[in-house]
Structure 1
């Protein structure tokens, strides 16, 4: 028995074995005290053991992604029943994200792992490194199947979806309502983001970041939950998923089937590598002794059993196709409701490093934020911009667009500021920090945005307001969220009775608490902003300072502010 063997109930010979013994020309000989069967021209002690009922069976433990586990279970049952090797193969269905985490920490006892994508091996190694451990030693074999990334929509809305070709370009442009299951748990979603980035403008990284912010507004609990959402929605929408996931859903005979829509601008494909959980050179003395004993007894070694099972899996193309999987090279025909028979053109999503980079960016962009928006309402906001609109008008437009980018889990409060705005104070608290998912709170903020033109007046009391805003956010700090101050201004500090820049920086240093960081994100627009002072404040709080040369650039600058949270204070 090998290291991962588990003693099992004695297994009776399979039907194939019995027939082979009956149909063979059998010569019984006495050799020492053992009984051997002469089969096919050589003595085979394995059959003697089988005839006796297999004193014990060898057990193979296989952990497979939930998407492919049903097909592998069927393959394993046929392999065990048709094999002459006295083996029981146990398939455990487990999400690849969970397996990657467990293996990284050294906790998974299995002989084989078949993940949903090779990217999970990169995730496993990265997780192990983050835990201060060496990457696990595994033997990664070639893929046993593949599945292209597709858009899934409700069958009843197929005609509406087909009215305009589905594409990654439409996702980037916001014209294709799209649901993205969490890339932290879905290889299809992560590969889809890789495809999305490949179709975004290389000259404008904000386009891809903005699309991720939009996709992250509402993250379903699972792929199944996403399927339920598009099925129940009145308007047509799609889910980023894989062909195999659509097949599994439709084969379960749902009330409403899904259809796979194949991106006209190309897609990527998931692979399913066959991973031996311990590299050949990682065998222990126990393993070697077990294999030596097996060879002496004339039975299959663990390595030979694994080779036989792998060969059986690779031959079972019809079983895999029946569950919606293409061949490893992406070819093959399927006959499943909702899927195209012919394989689409798809490139392998093998750039693990790029996918991990995207995943890190996704994690930053979808961090649930707790922000205090501080808005300049000094008199200069009435001045016209280049397009003829007042600065406050353009800010209102940008603010409405920004509100639409935030999910309901984002918490937002609003202050306005100008000199002597609230008695001796330069700032006025108009709305507390609370979730935008609260309809009443969201409506209150929308009303404040609409009321801004009527609030204009006074000079720019920038420094006193900045200090007070940081203090307020820290007083109500939530360690489970990203706490920050988002300050918009069109000018420089004009409060002669307030603190100066050096005093502000000194006070910020006094209240600095590394365990409660409150970065100040300063967005200046118009020709009168004091960018140098904004940069000093941003550096002191590990925030960022942005300058929109035109007020209408506020929307893109805001995407920058949100997408660079992970690199501050050294964003390029």
Structure 2
């Protein structure tokens, strides 16, 4: 008989490019079996029953299930298959494969890359958000209704000894802990708080999507809220992990972070503690309330008979015995009212408070924001090395260039390894026949431009060696246009392309004029291939108005900084402008 157990080769959605149905090796239960060859040469056995449905021509219904819920659903499919339920005289046999949501979504909406070789007939994902996304993106033949199979609330999880430490310090978990400490008004967390809260990747998990929604709900809207959300996205990207198992293993790591906490579904904590662990993980409920993952089942078949079979399996999943089966696997009941069986001391038995403000509209807005903020950056940095850099800024005697270099080095730490970056220096006549010079080509900061030294390290080293050039004026407008054209020519559609100008805000008037720069940018800036100009001025330059005009044409902005630490706010503000593109207000 076809077993309900079929497992995909990998839970890591981003790397998944193949899909195969693997049939379990269970022995046939009945006396009569018919061998059937399926893809890959595997053999399954169809049980003969002699009952109301035909065992010789089974109706195979393939169901893709989220990785965490797939095992109990496989067991439920085994039981369903034994009932000999029929459609039009054919026995329905359900096969379950575990699949992350994203490749299923891509398959249903007709994408060509990262899809399954065969469309499933039913889909159990970890959040109704995925089903809503499929509908919005034109997926065809989706059932009108969804059946919630089980639920599991999001929890903050950490090792038991650390949870006891938080309890002793009367520290409650809170959604504001997903933001860096600087976004909460202090340089670092207190000793009684987590020093890092890692969140799931929203591109592969419903838990990640829900966390983004909670973050957006907490900060609200407006420019300051957008900066806070940008800080959250940057922190989330840096700590994102491919699956819940890896995340839970991270709470034991003894390294840079001494008080790590992760956000995962409660069920993953239940499953983790059933394995061989040296110290259990504890599920902590956030004080504001939480979000339930709802594990909806939706019929996806374009074959009427298989759609009927998939609907019958949906009803089976809501039956009392199967609901008990799911609770024995660490899930809460479909309506959330009943806790998992045998939760142990690490899982709260009380039903968690629900965040009432997390609506489908808010989730959609949060996902849209993540989609704009998450793409990696491709940045060309233009460093002004004219003689103006030697002038002091502020009462402490630091030079303009000295502050700019410190700011650049500090800002570099904000960008993840996926960032592409390059560096030019500019001053009039700096190189033979040229007013700018490439120091580092644009490319991944985690890879070398040449030799063995990666770009991130090289940029830190080169920044320390930059000096203002006596007698050299600033070819500011010429270099901005040259840098803009260079970035535009090499535009990367999967990245956010930006020109970052570190300057003192004074053009020497020996090249193109302000009007010529603005005219060229208006003519060449392409909203379908946008390159943003962001200017950071160190000191009050006389040409600020011209720079503001140039930046505004490209949806950029001009910022004035006098201290290196101000660069953090500058970068977060600049990235946050992706949220209002192309109609951002002037600051």
Which TM-score band (shorter chain)? 0.7 to 0.9
Q: CA deviation at 1:237?
A: 1.9
- Tell me whether 1:99 sits opposite 2:104 in the alignment: yes
Which of these residues, 207, 210, 213, is aligned with residue 188 of structure 1?
207
CA 1:342/1:388 → structure 2, altered by over 3 Å: closer, same or farther? farther
SS in 2 for 1:181: coil
Alpha-carbon distance between aligned partners in 2 of 1:386 and 1:68, rounded to the nearest angstrom: 62
CA distance in 1, matches of 2:357, 2:67: 20
User: 1: CA distance between counterparts of 2:272 and 2:514?
Assistant: 61
Give 1:185 deviation, angstroms.
0.9
Q: Is the 8 A contact 1:12 1:54 kept in 2?
A: no
Tell whether 2:550 aligns with 1:523. Answer: no
SS in 2 for 1:316: helix
1:376 paired with 2:388, answer: no
Instruction: Find out whether 1:501 has 2:523 as its counterpart.
Output: no
Q: Distance in 2 between matches of 1:51 and 1:399?
A: 75
CA contact (8 A) 1:326 1:343 kept: no
Name the residue aligned to 2:12: none
Q: Residue 125 of structure 1 corresponds to which residue in structure 2?
A: 135
Quote the offset at 1:184 in angstroms. Answer: 1.0
| C-alpha distance after superposition, 1:530-567 (max 9, x if no partner) | 34422443355x35123348666543232121233465
Judged with a 3 Å threshold, the aligned counterparts in structure 2 of structure 1 residues 102 and 543 are, in CA distance, closer, same or farther, namely: same
Question: Is this contact kept in 2: 1:10–1:53, CA < 8 A?
Answer: no
SS of aligned partner of 1:241: strand
> Residue by residue, what CA displacement relative to the aligned partner does 1:430-454 show, whole Å, maximum 9, x if unpaired?
4333433256532332244445676
State the Cα deviation string for residues 86-126 of structure 1 (Å, max 9, x = none).
65333232222222222222986555322211101122123
Tell whether 2:382 aligns with 1:361: no
Q: Unaligned 5+ residue runs, structure 1? A: 1-8, 14-47, 129-133, 292-300
Residue 432 of structure 1 corresponds to: 441
| Candidates 162, 174, 197, aligned match of 2:216 | 197
CA shift, 1:186, in A, is 0.8
* Aligned position for 2:330: 324
**Which has the larger Rg?**
1
Equivalences for residues 272-421 of structure 1 within 5 A: 272-277=295-300, 305-306=312-313, 308-312=315-319, 315-334=321-340, 335-336=342-343, 338-347=346-355, 351-381=359-389, 382-385=391-394, 391-392=400-401, 394-421=403-430
Alignment partner of 2:266 out of 239, 243, 267: 243
Which deviations, in whole Å up to 9, do the C-alpha atoms of 1:370-419 show, x marking residues without a partner?
21111334455534348986655554554344222101221222233344
Distance in 1 between the 2:475 and 2:217 partners? 45
Look up the match of 1:45: none
Q: Say if 1:136 and 1:348 are closer, same or farther in 2 by CA, change over 3 A.
A: farther
Q: Flag the 1:395–1:267 CA change in 2: closer, same or farther, 3 A.
A: farther
| Separation in structure 2 between the aligned mates of residue 348 and residue 113 of structure 1, nearest angstrom | 27
Instruction: Quote the residue 2:482 is aligned against.
Output: 468
Q: Secondary structure at the match of 2:137?
A: helix
SS in 2 for 1:564: helix
Task: Give the aligned partner of residue 186 of structure 2.
Answer: none
Q: Which residue of 2 aligns with 1:442?
A: 456
1:194, CA displacement in angstroms?
1.0
Alignment of 1:114 with 2:127, yes or no, is: no
Asked if 2 retains the 8 angstrom alpha-carbon contact of 1:548 and 1:554, the reply is no
Q: Is 1:210 aligned to residue 223 of structure 2?
A: no
State the SS of the aligned residue for 2:154.
strand
For residues 344-377 of structure 1, what are the alpha-carbon distances to aligned partners after superposition, in whole Å with 9 as ceiling and x for unaligned?
2233786334323323332332322221111334
Q: CA deviation at 1:498?
A: 1.7
1:570 is matched with 583
- Measure, in 2, the Cα distance between the counterparts of 1:371 and 1:52: 64
Whole-Å Cα distance in 2 between the matches of residues 202 and 390 of structure 1? 37
Shift in alpha-carbon separation, 1:489–1:52, aligned structure 2, 3 A: closer
CA distance in 2, matches of 1:348, 1:380: 55
Instruction: Spell out, residue by residue over 1:458-516, the C-alpha distance to the aligned partner (whole angstroms, 9 max, x if none).
Output: 544311221232344456666664443211233232x1322212333455578778897
User: Tell me, what secondary structure is at the counterpart of 1:217?
Assistant: helix
- The 3-state SS of whatever aligns with 1:267 is coil
Contact 1:63 1:92 in 2 (8 A): yes
Q: Which residue of 2 aligns with 1:43?
A: none
Pairing partner for 2:558 from 523, 535, 546: 546
Q: Which has the higher helix share?
A: 1
Which of the numbers 147, 170, 176 marks the counterpart of 1:169?
176
Q: Check the 8 A contact 1:125/1:136 in 2, yes or no.
A: no
Instruction: Give the 3 Å change call, closer, same or farther, for CA 65–56 of structure 1 in structure 2.
Output: same
* Pairwise CA RMSD: 4.1
* 1:148 positional shift: 1.0
Q: Distance in 2 between matches of 1:263 and 1:429?
A: 50
Separation of aligned partners in 1, 2:270 and 2:497: 42
Q: Which runs of 5+ in 2 are unaligned?
A: 1-26, 32-48, 182-188, 190-194, 448-452
Q: How many aligned positions are there?
A: 508
**8 Å Cα contact 1:525-1:554 kept in structure 2:** no
Alpha-carbon distance in structure 2 between the residues aligned to 1:528 and 1:307: 67
State which drifts further: 101-110 or 315-324. Answer: 101-110
Q: 1:159 to 1:394 in 2, by over 3 A?
A: farther
Range with bigger deviation, 269-278 or 382-391: 382-391
Task: Kindly report which structure 2 residues correspond to 1:478-497, keeping only aligned pairs within 5 A, or say none.
Answer: 481-493=495-507, 495-497=508-510
Shift in alpha-carbon separation, 1:67–1:12, aligned structure 2, 3 A: same
| Residue in 2 that maps onto 1:143 | 148
Contact 2:339 2:351 in 1 (8 A): yes
TM-score, normalised via structure 2 length: 0.73
Any idea what the Cα deviations from partners look like across 1:257-316, whole Å, max 9, x if unmatched?
5433332333211112232337xxx996xx5xx99xxxxxxxxx859844752442x553
